[in-house]
Amino acid sequence: MSKLKVFIHPLSQPSRAVMMFVRANSIPHEEVFVDLAKGDQFQEEFAKNVNPLKKVPVINHDGFLLTESVAILRYLSRTFPVPDHWFPKDTKTQARVDEYMEWQHLNIRTHGSLFIMEKYMVPRKTKKPVNEAKAAIHLKGFKTCLEQMENIWLKDRPFIAGEKISIADLLAAAEIDETAIGGYDAKDHHEKIREYLERVGSAIHPHYDEANAMLNKLAMKVKAEQ
């Protein structure tokens, strides 16, 4: 039997996407927790034997190491017997999945990550006040991206590529949910996005809630501090 190891951390957006995928599809695997807060990713052994880029997620499939969440999700979709809707063979539907995944990096992922960096990570690391001006710039960009999602990919279909969930939706949901630890929960401000996330959660229940457990706990703590 082939052996799949998945190196993850639940507060990493792309890690959660991969976690949700392998769990929802009952792919036999071992999850290896990489404690980013303690700097496990910077340890010499990790950099040498797992990922020289010192990031998660990473998979090791029978000695085949693969980094980058999009590549991982495509590989898993093609390698394991999962339903076609995850990464459809139909070229036009597959192109819709790819279209979103190519778009997200310099858009929703960039703005969301930089917002979290300014609102949560930098202040806790430096012990300095939040740079509200910088945070506001990235939050504005993030909101614009959510509006684009609502008006383009989700305008007339329940999921990004059509009627069924795909790997693009797992990546999207992970990015959208993350900003809650910066004090901005998209579900509270965008009804269409909230409904979309509910559909994603329902489609892979209970794995969406499981993958988000640590994130939700931290987001509640941040909210209580405000």
Instruction: Return phi, psi of residue 61, to 5°.
Output: -110, 100
The ranges assigned to domains in the chain are: 4-82, 91-225
What confidence score (pLDDT) does residue 205 get? 98
| pLDDT, the chain, mean | 96
What confidence score (pLDDT) does residue 202 get? 98
For domain 4-82, say whether CATH 3.30.420.130 is its number.
no
Is the pLDDT at 1 greater than 70? The verdict is: no
Question: Which of 13-17, 64-68, 95-99, 124-128 has the weakest average pLDDT?
Answer: 124-128
What confidence score (pLDDT) does residue 225 get? 83
Cβ–Cβ contacts within 10 Å for residue 16, how many? 29
Q: Is this structure's pTM higher than 0.95?
A: yes
User: Reading across the β-sheet that carries 30-33, which strands appear in turn?
Assistant: 30-33, 4-8, 58-61, 64-67
For domain 91-225, say whether CATH 3.40.50.2300 is its number.
no
Contact (CB, 8 A) for 74 and 14: no
Span 34-90, pLDDT tens digits: 999 999 999 999 999 999 999 999 999 999 999 999 999 999 999 999 999 999 999
Span 111-155, pLDDT tens digits: 999 999 999 999 999 999 999 999 999 999 999 999 999 999 999
Decide if 4-82 and 91-225 have a common fold: no
88 Cβ partners below 8 Å, 6+ apart?
A: 94, 97, 161, 166
pLDDT band at 224 (very low <50, low <70, confident <90, very high): confident
List the end-to-end C-alpha distance of the chain, in Å, as a whole number.
50
For 87, which DSSP code?
Answer: S
Strands (E), the chain: 4-8, 30-33, 58-61, 64-67
Looking from the CA of 155 toward its CB, the CA atoms found within 13 Å total 5
**pLDDT over 90 for what percent of the chain?**
96
